[in-house]
């Protein structure tokens, strides 16, 4: 089954404690991205990657890092999480030449 | 500055009637538009799309209309069903094939279908 898988789905962490949200897709898509969803703000792109070793900032990249060492994986790294990063995070992917983005189920992150 | 706007945070429609969700955009370079549907605790799922070279695209109960001169698109759902209750996101893309960038999303409209 074609899917985008994120882990963890739910996490409560403390300010400053580094964490990584993993994302994996099994569709051999070149393009992957991360979004966050906040009340009243909709979906905002954090980072995206056109292919392995190619990443770029989205609209709200501050406080986040990403890496793309393999085509299927695109982890989101919060080096020093802060409470304003409490949000619902979505990983997404699409093939080159396609406009339909496929989303993961989301990761609820709470920073206290 | 918000480039894709969904001005109605919520919309309530009776079952069996038509639901019309609206979306406005400001960037005239957008040339591909999509609608996503999102249930609570799930990721958004693709619903329907339209290229800027068209003014209408239909898929079953769902039809998207594009008015480029007005920079406006709308999603029509006929007839509305209880399972249509969800948040609908309008999204726009700068490229219609092999694009380098992602999508710009609106803030979403919560559609509630009443029995």
Which residues have CB under 8 Å from A97's CB, separation 6+? B97, B98
What the block records as the tokens of A47 is 């980072």
The average pLDDT across B36-63 equals 93
Coil, strand, or helix at residue A85? Answer: helix
Contacting A residues, span 68-97, partner chain B, CB-CB under 8 Å: 90, 92, 96-97
- What is the pLDDT, as a whole number, of residue B106? 93
- What is the pLDDT, as a whole number, of residue B1? 67
Of chain B, the percentage scoring pLDDT greater than 90 comes to 75
Q: Is B45 on the interface with A (CB under 8 A)?
A: yes
Of chain B, the percentage scoring pLDDT greater than 70 comes to 92
Residue B100 has pLDDT above 50, yes or no: no
Closest by Cβ to A40, choosing from B32, B103, B107: B107
CB atoms within 10 A of CB B7: 10
Residue B29 has pLDDT above 50, yes or no: yes
Q: How near does any CA of chain A get to the CA of B1, in Å? A: 11
Output the CA torsion sign for A14, A19, A23, A24: negative
pLDDT, one tens digit per residue, over A28-45 is 999 999 999 998 888 899
CB contact under 8 A, B44 and A44: no
CB atoms within 10 A of CB B67: 11
Q: Is B115 on the interface with A (CB under 8 A)?
A: no
Q: How far apart are CA A31 and CA A96, in angstroms?
A: 7
Q: How far apart are CA A105 and CA A71, in angstroms?
A: 19
pLDDT band, residue A52 (cuts 50/70/90): very high
Query: Exposed, middle or buried, A40 (CB in 10 Å: 0-12/13-18/19+)?
Result: exposed
Residue B77 has pLDDT above 80, yes or no: yes
Q: How far apart are CA A103 and CA A101, in angstroms?
A: 6
């Amino acid at each position: 089954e074609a899917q985008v898988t994120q882990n963890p789905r739910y996490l409560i962490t403390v300010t400053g404690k580094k964490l990584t949200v993993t994302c994996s897709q099994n569709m051999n898509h070149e393009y992957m991205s991360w979004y966050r969803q906040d009340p009243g703000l909709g979906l905002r792109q954090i980072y995206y990657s056109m292919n392995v070793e190619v990443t770029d900032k989205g609209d709200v990249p501050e406080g986040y890092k990403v890496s793309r060492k393999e085509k299927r994986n695109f982890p989101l790294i919060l080096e020093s999480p802060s409470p304003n990063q409490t949000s619902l995070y979505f990983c997404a992917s699409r093939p080159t030449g396609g406009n339909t983005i496929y989303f993961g189920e989301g990761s609820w992150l709470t920073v206290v | 500055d918000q480039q894709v706007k969904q001005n109605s945070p919520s919309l309530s429609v009776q079952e069996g009637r038509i639901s019309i969700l609206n979306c406005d955009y400001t960037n005239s370079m957008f040339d591909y538009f999509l609608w996503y549907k999102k249930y609570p605790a799930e990721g958004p799922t693709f619903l329907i799309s339209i290229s800027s070279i068209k003014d209408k695209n239909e898929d079953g109960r769902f039809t998207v209309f594009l008015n480029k001169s007005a920079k406006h698109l709308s999603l029509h759902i006929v007839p509305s069903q209880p399972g249509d209750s969800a948040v609908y996101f309008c999204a726009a893309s700068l490229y219609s094939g092999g694009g380098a960038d992602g999508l710009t999303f609106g803030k979403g409209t919560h559609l509630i279908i009443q029995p």
